[in-house]
């Protein structure tokens, strides 16, 4: 069935039908719902090229990805693709040079002026993020996965990183740990700064001095987790607990502890931030891993929803969501061995 034929059955113009299916704000919710329900009943699917011609939209969302990539990024993209695919919207992934910030800005600028995408999703923002200022200046709709302190109104979706790490660190302190190491994300990222604040606030609240020798920053990989935790465990006195920035980091900590003959959950406690991977679950690790839980796939789905709302005309100031993070306690955390024996 062609668009014109479908529109005739509804007694509407082809333009109204096309705009209703594309989420344009000038179409009433009643009309949009009627068109959507009839499209589902009749099995109508619009010709993508025709819709793009009528609406003037590219039918794609832009995502910039570093060439090195990170483990959790695939889960976010999976959720994003799941939601956008249902709307016949494509994802344009552009690779960038991680070591060249200037080329990244040029890439975002090219996306904004090329007409190939309708909106852009910005990842891992910094407090004063030039990408946000650039996209705002160019008039390109965008959503930030995370938050920034830049003096530009922007839509964002973030989790409570500060609260999550403060709660995790506080739990370890409550168990009796005093030397608590943290393997954080890359320096300068907003989420890393928020996690660092949560960690420091938890220590300060209990009168425990901050020790910079117990904090490391880097990408969330098993290898860096191993190297950082091994170096911490070689200190005298060594840390009795770890706060890991991700599941992959926790894997490295487990491996380092075992390489030194230390038992997780008895001699070394570990809490990680768990991104809810279907192929790497905290509950299936041995011992099972205590974790703050937040789904990257769910974040991808919701990010797609919010981008669609922006394109439908929802004000940027209304598209700002902060998700709470749940703490799940399992076998990897316990009182320090000395405290148990006391």
DSSP state of 96: E
Distance CA 28, CA 231 (A): 61
CB 94 within 8 Å of CB 61 = no
pLDDT in tens, the chain (342 residues): 778 888 888 999 988 887 887 767 778 888 988 998 888 888 787 666 665 655 667 889 999 987 555 657 888 999 999 999 888 899 999 888 767 766 889 999 999 998 899 999 999 999 999 999 999 999 999 999 999 999 999 999 999 999 999 999 999 999 999 999 999 999 999 999 999 999 999 999 999 999 999 999 999 999 999 999 999 999 999 999 999 999 999 999 999 999 999 999 999 999 999 877 777 889 999 999 999 999 999 999 999 999 999 998 999 999 999 999 999 999 999 999 865 544
User: Is the Cβ–Cβ distance between 243 and 183 less than 8 Å?
Assistant: yes
Of 211, 217, 190, 202, nearest in space to 122 by CA:
190
**Number of helical (H) and strand (E) elements in the chain, helices listed first:** 13, 12
Q: In what order do the strands lie in the sheet with 60-66?
A: 90-96, 60-66, 119-123, 142-145, 155-159, 320-323
Q: pTM value?
A: 0.83
Give me the pLDDT at residue 54, please: 59
């Amino acid at each position: 069935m062609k668009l014109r034929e479908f529109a005739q059955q509804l007694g509407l113009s082809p333009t109204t039908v096309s705009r209703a299916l594309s989420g344009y704000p000038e179409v009433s919710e009643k009309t949009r719902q009627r068109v959507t329900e009839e499209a589902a009943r009749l099995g109508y699917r619009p010709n993508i090229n025709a819709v793009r011609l009528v609406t003037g939209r590219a039918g794609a969302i832009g995502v910039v990805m570093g060439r090195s990539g990170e483990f959790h990024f695939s889960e976010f993209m999976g959720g994003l693709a799941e939601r956008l695919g249902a709307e016949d919207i494509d994802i344009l992934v552009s690779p960038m040079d991680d070591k060249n910030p200037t080329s990244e800005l040029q890439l975002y600028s090219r996306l904004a002026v090329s007409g190939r995408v309708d909106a852009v999703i910005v990842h891992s923002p910094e407090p004063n993020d030039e990408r946000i200022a650039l996209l705002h200046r160019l008039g390109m709709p965008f959503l930030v996965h995370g938050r920034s302190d830049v003096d530009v109104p922007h839509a964002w979706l973030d989790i409570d990183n500060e609260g999550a790490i403060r709660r995790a660190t506080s739990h370890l302190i409550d168990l009796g740990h005093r030397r608590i190491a943290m393997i954080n994300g890359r320096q300068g990222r907003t989420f890393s700064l928020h996690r660092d604040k949560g960690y420091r606030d938890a220590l300060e609240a209990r009168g425990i001095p901050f020790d910079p020798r117990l904090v490391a920053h880097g990408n969330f990989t098993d290898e860096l987790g191993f190297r950082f935790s091994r170096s911490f465990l070689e200190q005298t006195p060594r840390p009795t607990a770890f706060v890991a920035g991700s599941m992959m980091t926790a894997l490295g900590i487990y491996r380092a502890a075992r390489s030194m003959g230390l038992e997780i959950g008895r001699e070394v406690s570990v809490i990680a931030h768990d991104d809810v991977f279907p192929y790497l679950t905290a509950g299936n690790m041995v011992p099972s891993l205590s974790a703050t839980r937040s789904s990257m796939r769910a974040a991808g789905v919701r990010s797609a929803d919010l981008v669609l709302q922006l394109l439908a005309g929802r004000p940027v100031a209304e598209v700002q969501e902060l998700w709470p993070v749940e703490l799940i306690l399992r076998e990897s955390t316990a009182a320090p061995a000395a405290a148990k024996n006391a």
